[in-house]
């Protein structure tokens, strides 16, 4: 298990390999379908973003509401492929990495390699467990989107696994083949 501080450095990205289990500590931003659509449309019009994505890791999440006394509600990853249309643009504009679950298309993998980025998977459906590592939650923008707003999470030992590394190695492609007996 490797411990990584956020914001992530280029050196850390260089050293992380697909398949590495990591614990992330520091801050990350959140965003999913509706927020991505808005950012993408701003990018196409050449307008400024209401959030600075430069050097950031974005977590694809739409949390459940927090119970009183909890920093955040259950907050597991959502399926990443729905952001595939938007992710290459954001990576080209300075986003460093993404946390989600599930496969990415070739355009995203190419954009990861081109920008020396990284893609992590958190465990889908482990939302109550993952929320234990999220220590604070602050709204950045798009409050009207409710659970889909863009927020800043401060995390401590947030568990995830490197799925696509900066060289384009992808364990969703390589690992299942080792166990395939069809």
Which residues sit at the interface with other proteins, rule CB under 8 A? Answer: 19, 21, 34, 61-67, 70, 73-76, 78-79, 81, 101-103, 121, 123-132, 145-147, 159, 161, 163, 171-172, 174-182
Instruction: Compute the least distance from the CB of residue 83 to other proteins, in Å.
Output: 13
DSSP the chain: -EEEESSPPHHHHHH--TT-EEEEEEEEEE--HHHHHHHHHHHHHTPPPSS--TT-EEE---PPPPPTT-SS------BGGGGTTTHHHHHHTT--EEEEBS---HHHHHHHHHTT-EEEE--TT-HHHHHTTEEEEEEEE-GGGGGGSEEEEEEEEEEEEEEE-TT--BHHHHHHHHH---
Report the nearest approach of other proteins to the CB of residue 138 (Å): 18
- Our CB check for other proteins shows the closer of 46 and 176 to be 176
* CB 11 to other proteins: min, Å: 25
120 and 163 in contact (C-beta within 8 Å)?
yes
Closest CB to other proteins among 116 and 135?
135
> Considering beta carbons, is residue 129 or 139 the nearer one to other proteins?
129
CB-nearer residue toward other proteins: 7 or 102: 102
Nearer to other proteins, 55 or 124 (CB): 124
From its phi and psi, is residue 5 left (phi > 0), alpha (psi between -120 and 50) or beta?
A: beta
CB of 117 to other proteins, least distance (A): 19
Least distance between other proteins and beta carbon 100 (Å): 10
């Amino acid at each position: 298990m490797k411990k990584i501080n956020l914001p992530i450095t280029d050196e850390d990205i260089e050293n992380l390999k697909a398949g590495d289990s990591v614990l992330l500590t520091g801050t990350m931003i959140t965003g999913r379908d509706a927020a991505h659509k808005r950012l993408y449309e701003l990018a196409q019009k050449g307008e400024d973003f209401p959030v600075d994505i430069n050097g950031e890791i974005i977590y694809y999440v739409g949390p459940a509401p927090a119970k009183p006394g909890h920093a955040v509600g259950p907050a597991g990853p959502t399926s990443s492929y729905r952001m595939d249309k938007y992710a290459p643009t954001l990576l080209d504009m300075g986003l460093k990495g993404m946390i989600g679950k599930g496969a990415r298309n070739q355009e995203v993998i190419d954009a990861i390699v081109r920008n020396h980025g990284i893609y992590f998977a958190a465990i889908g459906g482990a939302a109550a467990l993952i929320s234990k590592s999220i220590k604070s939650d602050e709204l950045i923008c798009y409050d009207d989107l409710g659970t889909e707003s863009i927020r800043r999470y401060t995390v401590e030992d947030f568990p995830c696994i490197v799925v696509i590394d900066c060289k384009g190695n992808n364990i969703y492609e390589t690992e299942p083949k080792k166990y395939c007996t069809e």
